[in-house]
């Protein structure tokens, strides 16, 4: 029989506190956070493109060299374009984030419904609902919302998820008897 340790209340509590604090920091300057994320993505694209071009030089066949080289140039070029025109990158990232946050919001809602007996489940439900409402607001103002959306959305998500984890950790501590172990048998 294999036993695996479950995350304890202390780990959930610490993670919740860190996420909530990071969320508050992101909410203080959402435009700066959004711009920093776009610059970071641009840098990653340029580095990825350069590595792909380097790999093209080492490819076995001329076709592989050509395809890898062209893809490397395209990826690096998109990175340079995003670096010098962050609005394009910000709009594209916002569109990707909308897709991600719809999926993430639905997952949080379904997870909250599964944890309904625990006292912190409503925070997780609220985090999921806020995700879906925020995506709707982004969609109604997209692409103009891109400048602030990345920082605000990330900050709200971290803050609400952190609060949910803090409350779930407290509920977990109350539900456990002092003589119970944090293990599960598989």
| Percentage of the chain modeled with pLDDT above 70 | 84
What's the pLDDT at 42? 86
* Least confident segment among 67-81, 125-139, 149-163: 149-163
User: Is 163 strand, coil or helix?
Assistant: helix
* Cis amide prior to 143 (ω within 30 degrees): yes
For residue 178, what pLDDT band results from cuts at 50, 70 and 90? Answer: low
What's the pLDDT at 147? 61
Helix, strand, coil in percent for the chain, rounding step 5: 80, 5, 15
What mean pLDDT, rounded, does the chain reach?
Answer: 79
- Of residues 97 and 50, the one with the higher pLDDT is 50
Contact present, 82 and 41 (Cβ < 8 Å): yes
Whole-angstrom distance, CA of residue 145 vs CA of residue 44 = 23
Tokens for 120? 């912190």
What's the pLDDT at 145? 61
Whole-angstrom distance, CA of residue 72 vs CA of residue 45 = 9
What's the pLDDT at 37? 77
Q: Work out the average pLDDT over 70-78.
A: 89
What's the pLDDT at 47? 92
């Amino acid at each position: 029989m294999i036993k695996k340790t479950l995350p304890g209340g202390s780990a959930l509590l610490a993670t919740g506190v860190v996420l909530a604090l990071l969320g508050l920091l992101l909410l203080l300057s959402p435009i700066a956070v959004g711009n920093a994320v776009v610059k970071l993505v641009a840098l990653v694209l340029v580095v990825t493109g350069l590595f792909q071009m380097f790999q093209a030089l080492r490819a076995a066949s001329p076709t592989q060299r050509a395809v890898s080289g062209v893809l490397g140039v395209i990826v690096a070029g998109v990175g340079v374009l995003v670096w010098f025109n962050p609005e394009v990158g910000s709009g594209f990232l916002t569109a990707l984030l909308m897709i991600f946050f719809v999926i993430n919001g639905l997952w949080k809602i379904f997870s909250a419904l599964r944890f309904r007996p625990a006292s912190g489940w409503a925070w997780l439900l609220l985090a999921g609902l806020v995700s879906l409402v925020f995506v709707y607001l982004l969609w109604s103002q997209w692409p103009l919302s891109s400048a602030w959306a990345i920082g605000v959305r990330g900050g709200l998500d971290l803050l609400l998820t952190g609060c949910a984890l803090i409350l779930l950790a407290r509920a977990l501590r109350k539900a456990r008897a002092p003589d119970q172990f944090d293990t599960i048998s598989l």
